[in-house]
């Protein structure tokens, strides 16, 4: 649903950017609003994409009509987006006590992400191996950047990043959740869940009418405070988190897939690497060349990946909607390179007529 919503929104925005008609901008805002209802992370990304496109449109038209993109594209688009999501936010506030569009897990996820900011240096280094593709693992195998099976177990260097049910401490980790005892947790994942359970139990004992939602809101505020307290650590950990979310397909799985030998992963990883780099090259080129049409296509998936990097633990499934755009960017880049290679030199500039009419 998020992927089809992405595509619909991009097509609508392309039409709005090309025509700069209010009715087309309203349709684009409507599509973006429906996208936000499908995946709430776009509630921050969609307005940012509209503002970025408006800024570049204004720059392109700065000598003719600087404000036209804002009054005929950005503002109508934002109003239409707000018209779609606001009734749901009001409904949730009245019925549930929160205006969030998500299912009440934002605080739990953000708190988990905030806990990861405190991972030890060795865990940080080995996170790239744990969450990396086979190509990277082959490269660092036998070095201090490679994790061993023992590193994932009790007392190991990446114990805190191993929620695998095959671990020797899995049952104890889950027991910590049931008891609401984050101090007994073995992983950041279960520590977040145990903290949520502890807060929820206190709210239930106090007779709170919506303990689940209230507990999630408390974790969300706490996570925001933890992230803001040490922004340098948050940005540092964002690098392995982005690395984790960047790899898709079989590349991000820690254990072999039945029926798929390791050699079958590497071609997928090469395509993943090239297409992911192509997406960011295309986005960067659109920004620096001030091409609003290209920004429409590449901004939403890039902004989505950025938000998941900063606010979540970066599970690869979070960025699945960006995969088609990675492949599209790789195809576009390959076509342009082939065109430059085989189109030949540009035609000579015609000589100016020295005489006047």
Least confident of 15-19, 84-88, 123-127: 15-19
Stronger pLDDT, 59 or 201, i.e. the higher one = 201
Say how far apart CA 129 and CA 243 lie, in whole Å: 10
Q: For 174-208, give one letter per residue: b (16+ CB within 10 A) or e.
A: bebbeebebeebbbbbbbbbbbbbbbbeebeeeee
Alpha carbon of 334 to those of 28, 197, 246, 279: distances in Å?
29, 50, 20, 12
Band of pLDDT at residue 139, cut at 50, 70 and 90: very high
Please report the pLDDT score of residue 300 as a whole number. 85
pLDDT over threshold 90, residue 150: yes
Please report the pLDDT score of residue 254 as a whole number. 45
Per-residue pLDDT reduced to its tens digit, 262-317: 556 778 889 999 999 999 999 999 888 878 788 888 888 898 899 899 999 988 88
Band of pLDDT at residue 351, cut at 50, 70 and 90: very low
Contacts of 24 (CB under 8 A, 6+ apart): 12, 15, 16
Band of pLDDT at residue 66, cut at 50, 70 and 90: confident
- Most distant pair of Cα atoms in the chain: their distance: 94
Least confident of 40-54, 117-131, 199-213: 40-54
**Helix, strand, coil abundance in the chain, percent, nearest 5:** 75, 0, 25
Please report the pLDDT score of residue 345 as a whole number. 57
Band of pLDDT at residue 348, cut at 50, 70 and 90: low
Please report the pLDDT score of residue 283 as a whole number. 92
Say how far apart CA 150 and CA 157 lie, in whole Å: 8
Token representation of residue 218: 């408390």
DSSP 272-325: HHHHHHHHHHHHHHHHHTT-HHHHHHHHHHHHHHHHHHHHS---GGGGGGGHHH
Stronger pLDDT, 90 or 355, i.e. the higher one = 90
Say how far apart CA 253 and CA 137 lie, in whole Å: 12
Please report the pLDDT score of residue 128 as a whole number. 95
pLDDT over threshold 60, residue 347: no
Q: How deeply is 95 buried, as exposed, middle or buried, from its count of CB atoms within 10 A (0-12, 13-18, 19+)?
A: exposed
Band of pLDDT at residue 190, cut at 50, 70 and 90: very high
The pTM of the full predicted model, rounded to 2 decimals, is: 0.81
């Amino acid at each position: 649903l998020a992927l089809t919503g992405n595509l619909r929104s991009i097509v609508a925005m392309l039409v709005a950017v090309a025509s700069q008609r209010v009715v087309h901008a309203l349709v684009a805002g409507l599509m973006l609003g429906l996208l936000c209802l499908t995946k709430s992370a776009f509630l921050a990304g969609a307005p940012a994409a509209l503002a970025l496109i408006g800024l570049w449109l204004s720059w392109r038209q700065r000598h003719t009509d600087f404000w036209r993109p804002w009054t005929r594209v950005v503002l109508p688009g934002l109003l239409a987006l707000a018209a779609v999501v606001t009734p749901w936010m009001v409904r949730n506030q009245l019925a549930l006590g929160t205006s969030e569009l998500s299912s009440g897990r934002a605080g739990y996820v953000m708190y988990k992400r905030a806990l990861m900011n405190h991972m030890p240096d060795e865990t940080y280094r080995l996170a790239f191996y744990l969450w990396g593709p086979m190509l990277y693992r082959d490269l660092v195998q036998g070095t201090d950047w490679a994790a061993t099976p023992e590193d994932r177990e009790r007392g190991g260097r990446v114990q805190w990043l191993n929620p695998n049910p095959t671990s020797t401490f899995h049952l104890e980790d889950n027991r910590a959740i049931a008891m609401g005892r984050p101090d007994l947790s073995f992983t950041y994942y279960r520590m977040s869940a145990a903290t949520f359970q502890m807060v929820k139990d206190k709210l239930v004992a106090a007779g709170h009418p919506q303990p689940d939602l209230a507990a999630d809101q408390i974790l969300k505020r706490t996570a925001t405070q933890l992230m803001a307290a040490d922004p340098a650590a948050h940005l540092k950990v964002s690098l392995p988190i982005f690395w984790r979310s960047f790899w898709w397909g079989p590349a991000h799985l820690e254990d072999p897939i039945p029926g798929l030998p390791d050699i079958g992963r590497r071609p997928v990883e090469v395509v993943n690497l090239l297409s992911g780099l192509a997406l960011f090259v295309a986005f960067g080129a659109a920004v620096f060349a001030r091409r609003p049409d290209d920004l429409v296509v590449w901004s939403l998936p890039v902004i989505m990946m950025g938000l998941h990097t900063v606010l979540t633990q970066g599970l690869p499934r979070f960025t699945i909607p960006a995969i088609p755009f990675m492949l599209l960017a790789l195809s576009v880049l390959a076509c342009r390179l082939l065109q430059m290679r085989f189109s030949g030199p540009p035609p000579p500039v015609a000589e100016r007529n020295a005489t006047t009419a």
